[in-house]
């Protein structure tokens, strides 16, 4: 086994997905605490005790709204492994960013609120994971608060997402009266002790069954009966079916109190698969020990407003990456040196000297590099590009102060490259009044905020009558432009999009004009791929 292959075996690269407010960001913080990447006060990076915000939520707007808007990459060691944790936006309006992040992951942890179960955005994100073929761990969070019956939650997972939940840990105590968990793999009962504000690792005590029965009473009896049901129904952890995407190992806990967090993190190491050869655009698998190649899944500008820089995040797909090496950019064919390569920890960064398959590296100011690009050394490599989501909201953007037009144009170009919104133009208005296309309206809020705060270009957004979009081509464009309630605009990547004023009219045009090219985009309506 080569050194590259050995290093790849140590990597675990996964994403956390959830509906907003299910506790995803809190769980991310607690993973860092258990991984030793945070100080004893969870939420404060070592040597930065005065930081008040979540490590993963660095943007001021995120802190104001209390939600994750952008995706964040966090790396830390745990046991003998290197963990690459990808924190994703929970809000549905930013699901396209989540999709891009999931292209860099080898698995995911789905966080459920014990009181709410499978929520709409959870379902949508699960469909993305299924489309990506990602194995999924499930964490039922907030068991320290009143919630649904545990067996009811299992039925809901089966009915709504079609995965068979296989409980690995199971609670002693109903939701709101959380005592500890039984690990079905060992039969051990772990009882937890609360700590102030959940700021330190929760003390654990292994309790023998006889003692547990005496001390926990009815709670132990109920847990034991439910565990017998799982044994009878053969709902037992099976690694092969988990990685095949037919079962989801289930863990129960509370991220706020740190109950069950350590067992879940151990499961990430034990169950999430290490990096595997990645298919190229012609479906050939790129061996892990082939010369360096990487896939750009995210571009983010102005993470540090004082530096006004731009970071392109790529996942190492093969070979060893070394800082300063000259790589080739697949889209332009141009070589460039990777002098400024960073590992990014929230807003904090450190220079990375080398990286291996599964690792995430940020290239600072990497010129024309965009989302979906491939970087490589040696013979040409190209990985499939990331599809764009179907936009559902459209608005015309104009700068309020025409004297700031230059800044407006620069800002729109930057946000377009990052994938914050899709930017559409027609021949008449061009760059003066581009049409912004978004999955959800909150994306417009982010665009307005960032254009004003980062580029000094306040904008006015005028809603349009468009309600749906389909991909078209040059041959179909003239006929579509001649129709009532239809327009054709060009996206910045050159793709032509036909915009319709209603889904009814779209369906009618499709039915009556089968010769016209009107291809569906990813996640049109509800995401059922």
What's the pLDDT score for residue 54? Answer: 54
Q: Cβ atoms within 10 A of the Cβ of 52, count?
A: 7
Rg value, the chain, Cα = 24
Indicate the SS3 state at residue 226: helix
Question: What is residue 346's predicted lDDT score, i.e. its pLDDT?
Answer: 59
Architecture of domain 278-376: Beta Barrel (2.40)
> What pLDDT is stored for residue 47 in this prediction?
32
pLDDT digits (tens, 9 = 90+) for 176-224: 999 999 999 999 999 999 888 778 898 999 999 999 999 999 999 999 9
Residue 226 is encoded by which pair of tokens?
A: 């439910």
Contact (CB, 8 A) for 45 and 115 = no
Q: What is the CATH number of domain 3-271?
A: 3.40.50.300
pLDDT tens-place values along the chain, 529 residues long: 689 999 999 999 999 988 888 888 899 889 999 988 765 444 433 333 333 345 544 456 555 554 444 556 788 999 999 999 987 765 666 777 888 888 999 999 999 999 999 988 788 778 778 878 899 999 999 999 999 999 999 999 999 999 999 999 999 999 999 999 999 999 999 999 988 877 889 899 999 999 999 999 999 999 999 999 999 998 999 999 999 999 999 999 999 999 999 999 999 999 999 999 999 999 999 999 999 999 999 888 766 566 567 889 999 999 999 999 999 999 999 999 999 998 876 567 789 999 999 999 999 887 789 899 999 999 999 999 888 888 999 999 999 999 999 999 999 998 998 888 999 998 777 789 999 999 889 889 989 999 999 899 999 999 999 999 999 999 999 999 999 999 999 999 899 999 999 999 999 999 999 999 999 987 665 443 3
* pLDDT given for residue 522 in this prediction: 76
Q: How far is CA 160 from the centre of its chain?
A: 21
User: For the segment 291-322, what is each residue's pLDDT rounded down to a tens digit?
Assistant: 999 999 988 876 656 656 788 999 999 999 99
Report the pLDDT value the prediction gives residue 273, as an integer from 0 to 100.
97
Q: Where in the chain is the domain with CATH 3.30.70.3280?
A: 393-512
Dihedral of alpha carbons 211, 216, 217, 222, sign: negative
The whole-angstrom separation of Cα 497 and Cα 519 is 9
Nearest to 129 by CA among 163, 153, 91, 155: 163
Q: What are phi and psi of 490, to 5 degrees?
A: -105, 125
Closest CA to 174 of 87, 115, 90, 233: 115
Architecture of domain 393-512: 2-Layer Sandwich (3.30)
Domain with CATH 3.40.50.300 in the chain: 3-271
What per-residue confidence (pLDDT) applies to 50? 36
Query: What pTM, to 2 d.p., does this model score?
Result: 0.84
Contact 117, 143 (CB under 8 A): no
What is the Cα–Cα distance from 267 to 31, expressed in whole angstroms?
12
Looking at residue 384, what DSSP letter applies? P
pLDDT value, residue 4: 97
Is residue 143 within 8 A of residue 254, CB to CB? The reply is: yes
């Amino acid at each position: 086994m080569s050194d590259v292959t050995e290093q790849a075996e140590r990597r675990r690269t996964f994403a956390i997905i959830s509906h907003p407010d299910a506790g995803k960001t809190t769980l991310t913080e607690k993973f860092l605490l258990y991984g030793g990447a945070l100080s004893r006060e969870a939420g404060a990076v070592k040597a930065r005790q005065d930081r008040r915000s979540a490590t993963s939520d660095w943007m001021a707007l995120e802190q104001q709204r209390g939600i994750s808007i952008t995706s964040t990459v966090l790396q830390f060691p745990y046991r003998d492994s290197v963990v690459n944790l990808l924190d994703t936006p929970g809000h549905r309006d930013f699901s396209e960013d989540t999709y891009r992040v999931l292209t860099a992951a080898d698995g995911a942890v789905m966080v459920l609120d014990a009181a709410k179960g499978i929520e709409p955005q959870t379902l949508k994100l699960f469909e993305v994971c299924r489309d990506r073929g990602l194995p999924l761990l499930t964490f039922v969070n907030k068991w320290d608060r009143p919630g649904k019956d545990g067996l009811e939650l299992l039925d809901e997972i089966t009915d709504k997402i079609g995965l068979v939940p296989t409980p690995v840990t199971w609670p002693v105590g109903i939701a709101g009266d959380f005592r500890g968990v039984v690990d079905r793999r060992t039969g051990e009962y772990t009882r937890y002790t609360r700590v102030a504000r959940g700021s330190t690792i929760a003390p654990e005590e292994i309790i023998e069954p006889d003692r547990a029965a005496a001390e926990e009473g009815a709670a132990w009896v109920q847990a034991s009966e439910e565990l017998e049901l799982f044994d009878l129904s053969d709902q037992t952890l099976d690694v092969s079916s988990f990685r095949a995407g037919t079962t989801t190992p289930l863990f129960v806990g509370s991220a706020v109190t740190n109950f069950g967090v350590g067992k879940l993190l151990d499961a990430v190491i034990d169950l999430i698969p290490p990096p595997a050869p990645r298919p190229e655009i012609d479906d050939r698998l790129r061996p892990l020990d082939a010369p360096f190649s990487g896939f750009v899944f995210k571009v983010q500008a102005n993470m540090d407003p004082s530096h006004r820089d731009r970071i392109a995040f790529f996942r190492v797909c093969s070979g060893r990456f070394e800082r300063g090496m000259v790589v080739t950019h697949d889209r332009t064919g141009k070589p460039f040196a990777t002098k400024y390569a960073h590992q990014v920890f929230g807003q904090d960064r450190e220079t990375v000297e080398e990286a291996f398959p599964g690792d995430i590296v940020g290239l600072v100011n990497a010129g024309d590099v965009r989302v979906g690009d491939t970087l490589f050394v040696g013979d040409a490599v190209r990985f499939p590009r990331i599809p764009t989501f179907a936009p559902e909201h459209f608005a015309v953007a104009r700068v309020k102060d025409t004297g700031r037009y230059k800044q407006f144009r620069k800002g729109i170009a930057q946000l377009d490259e990052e994938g914050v919104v899709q930017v559409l133009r027609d021949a008449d208005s061009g760059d003066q009044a581009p049409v912004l296309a978004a999955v959800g309206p909150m994306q417009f809020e982010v665009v307005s905020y960032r254009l004003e705060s980062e580029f000094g270009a306040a904008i006015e957004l005028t809603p349009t009558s468009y309600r749906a979009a389909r991909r078209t081509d040059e041959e179909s464009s003239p006929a579509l432009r001649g129709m009532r309630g239809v327009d054709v605009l060009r996206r910045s990547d050159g793709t032509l999009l036909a915009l319709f004023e209603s889904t009814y009219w779209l369906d009618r045009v499709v039915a009556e004009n089968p010769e016209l090219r009107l291809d569906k985009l990813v996640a049109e309506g509800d995401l059922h791929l």
